[in-house]
Structure 1
Amino acid sequence: MKTSLALVAALLLTGSALHAQNLPAAQVPAAAVAAFRKAYPQVKDVRWEKEKNQFEAGFTQNKIKMSVLLSATGELLETETDMAPGLLPAPVKTKLATQYKGYKVTEAAKIVTAGTGAITYEAEVSRGGKSRDVLFSADGQEVDQ
């Protein structure tokens, strides 16, 4: 039984590590760090993660959790701002109530794609101890991640 639990724990940790890896700032490309510092000079405490070949800087600004996704060359790709689930747009809340009935929305965020300004909303839904992230357009349509 202990072996089975250890195996499951190892698999979960390995899966998480494949999704995003925490990095010290020294391992983040200088161009990405410089672009972040230029955009957010007042932010001192930054948590860096690597997602595929992109770099995410997580931080808190004005007591709100945020993150920005940057390319290795320092191009800003998207900005994510946490929000209370109750502040999601009405069409998103309606879709969640119908498509995810019985789920609880535990976290929410607004994501703005750089360049286009396109806005998507992310909702973390959970039920029975399992959770997943779901993305929506402002009009409540579910979009692929």
Structure 2
Amino acid sequence: MKHSILTCLVLLFSSFAIAQRVSEKEIPNSVKSKFLISHPGQAHVKWEKEKENYEASFTSGKTKHSTLLDPNGNILETEEEISVKQLPANALAYIQKTYKNKKIKEAARITDAHGTVTFEAQVTSIDLIFDKQGTYIKSIAD
């Protein structure tokens, strides 16, 4: 019961964090310059605004990446697409048990500003977040 209530609350509050596409002209220079310093040579960047923060999405090689920056250009987190097989074993077991017969659409490794690594698995229209060991943390409506 607690798990269901927590999941509902997370889904409710996460629905307010809807990203909006913005043109590069709308991105503050401090955000763009700090992004380019940390990711030199990225020419095809798609920008979104998430509340007061900015997300830059780009592809390096064949791998999708995104970087979330605050209005001052500080990196809050980075996300790198990974194969489903790279998710922690405990996360895969949780998904198989909880979401029987559902396919994992996408997987990612997320590193926050403090270096903490989490994993994300998109199942149906929900992003499931796991810690480094694969322990379930929360769900976020996609």
Structure-1-length-normalised TM-score: 0.81
1:64-101 CA-to-partner distances (Å, cap 9, x unmatched) read 10000000100000000001112211111111111222
The verdict on how the C-alpha distance between 1:80 and 1:45 changes in structure 2, with shifts beyond 3 A counting, is same
Q: Which amino acid aligns with 1:30?
A: N
Alignment check: 8 A CA contact 2:117 2:131 kept: yes
SS at match of 2:31: helix
1:23 alignment partner in structure 2: 22
CA distance in 1, matches of 2:64, 2:72: 24
1:118 alignment partner in structure 2: 116
Pairwise CA RMSD: 1.7
Structure 2 residue 120 is the aligned partner of structure 1 residue 137? no
1:97 alignment partner in structure 2: 96
Cα distance, 1:60 vs structure 2 = 0.4
1:108 alignment partner in structure 2: 107
**Matched residues, number:** 125
CA distance in 2, matches of 1:139, 1:83: 16
Structure-2-length-normalised TM-score: 0.82
Higher relative contact order structure (alpha carbons within 8 Å, sequence separation ≥ 6)? 2
SS at match of 1:95: helix
SS at match of 2:72: coil
4+ aligned runs moved over 3 Å, structure 1: none
CA distance in 2, matches of 1:58, 1:30: 17
Structure 1 residue runs of 5 or longer lacking an equivalent are 1-15
Structure 2 residue runs of 5 or longer lacking an equivalent are 1-14
SS at match of 1:120: strand
2:66 alignment partner in structure 1: 67
2:47 alignment partner in structure 1: 48
